Amino acid sequence: MRPSIWFGFVALLLAEPVKAQSLAGIWQGVETDTDQPGASWPSVMRLQEGKGTGLFGIMYQEATGRPGVTVTFQVRTTRTNGSMRLEHVRKLDETGASPLSYWCEGIIFFTYDPALEKITGRADYDPIGRCDKGTYTLYRVKLKSAAKVPAGAETTIRVSGRNVRWYADADLKQLVNSGNEYRTKLSKATTFYITQNYYPTREGAAVPITVQVGGAVAKATPSPALTPAPAPVPADTARPAPPVALSEKPVVLPTVLFKQGTPELLPDAAPALDALAAELRTRPTMRIQVAGHTDRIGESKKNQTLSEQRAEAVKAYLVKTGIAAERISTVGYGDSRPLYPSPDVRNRRVEVAQVQ
């Protein structure tokens, strides 16, 4: 759907029989239109099982670049002969309505890829205003590896989804991994909270994924007392990063930057963070605070959360190199302390300071 009032229905043409795979869950993605280059309409569709073979839920969309233009519909579905018809029951909420802002009517035919948990569709809208066609791409987070793993054994956990982030807490403050695979060891049943950063919206949500653990915890083989720790693998760069001069005053790490609107570290961050980890290993009693910052783009409340996530992303990186988590505290300042006029990538930064 995109800006015309949209009271049509959606027919989902599945790549396999509906009964073989439920489509309940949170689907997140985007609608685009080849006739409007650069325009996009991020979308979230939440479906759950109803009576019989039906599903019901809501569908939400917003217009990129126009945060005040959104719509939410109550929806229900019926399944027949391998297809699903999704009908909008009523409009629950709409913001930014105007003669020039409307949601298109029409029909969308989707295909379902069970391996990727992806649905793609093509809309044939009624020719009202600029409404003609649109293309949908939506993904769903599901556990794709074993639901139960051996205790204490190094295991690869895989999930579906696009641009996913793994958090250890429902408040999304403890980022532990990014990407569709997570190599880790579990000693007890563990729940991860997975988000998709593929066209995120204000209505996006974390999906809890619980991995059970079975068997006795594997005992770690002690290292020989005199065996030195292996040297860290050098970063893949032509020139190593200089040592980080830590002090009680915040020090900017100029190459530790992030993708716009995300806590995802850019590749150039690795050398500086490896140098910081090396400095911390030479000073084992030192504690540091990592402060996250954002550019002045978007809403201040979201920027505050984003700055905290960026600080946590740096902490997670350092912990993976062997630095004890209790030596690192984090704080976020949102967009309150830019160093340069916005927009500027250098405002999406972290600062590190020594703490008592």
Residue 238 has pLDDT above 50, yes or no: no
Better-scored residue on pLDDT, 268 or 24: 24
Asked if 31 and 40 touch (Cβ cutoff 8 Å), the reply is: yes
pTM for the structure as a whole: 0.58
Distance CA 117, CA 85 (A): 19
> Is residue 53 located within the same domain as residue 88?
yes
Percent of the chain with pLDDT over 70: 80
For 308-330, give the DSSP string.
Answer: HHHHHHHHHHHHHTT--GGGEEE
Amino acid identity of residue 48, one-letter, is Q
Domain boundary among 214, 240, 264: 214
pLDDT tens, position by position, 129-185: 777 788 889 999 999 999 999 999 999 999 999 999 999 988 888 899 999 999 999
Backbone phi, then psi, for 2, in 5-degree steps? -155, 165
DSSP tag of 194: E
Structure confidence at residue 348 as a pLDDT band (50, 70, 90): confident
pLDDT tens, position by position, 37-93: 888 889 998 888 776 667 788 889 898 888 788 888 777 776 655 456 667 677 788
Residue 221 lies in a domain: no
* CATH at 155: 2.60.40
Per-residue pLDDT, 282 = 87
> Is residue 190 located within the same domain as residue 117?
no
User: What does the block give as tokens for 296?
Assistant: 């002045």
Distance CA 244, CA 241 (A): 9
Residue 224 lies in a domain: no
Q: What is the CA radius of gyration of the chain?
A: 24
Among 183, 177, 210, residue whose Cα is nearest residue 195 = 177
Q: Tell me what the pLDDT averaged over the chain comes to.
A: 80
Domain extent at residue 282: 251-355
| Beta-bridge mates of residue 94 | 71
Structure confidence at residue 233 as a pLDDT band (50, 70, 90): very low
Among 311, 294, 291, 313, residue whose Cα is nearest residue 302 = 294
Residue 338 has pLDDT above 70, yes or no: yes
Mean pLDDT, range 114-141, rounded to an integer:
83
Give the least confident one: 18-27, 263-272, 290-299.
18-27
Q: What CA dihedral angle connects 325, 288, 317 and 273, to 10 degrees?
A: -150
> Is residue 197 located within the same domain as residue 89?
no
Number of domains making up the chain: 3
Per-residue pLDDT, 231 = 47
> Is residue 97 located within the same domain as residue 204?
no
> Is residue 122 located within the same domain as residue 158?
no
Domain boundary among 103, 124, 140: 140
pLDDT tens, position by position, 309-326: 999 999 999 999 999 999
User: What does the block give as tokens for 328?
Assistant: 């690192």
Asked if 193 and 205 touch (Cβ cutoff 8 Å), the reply is: no
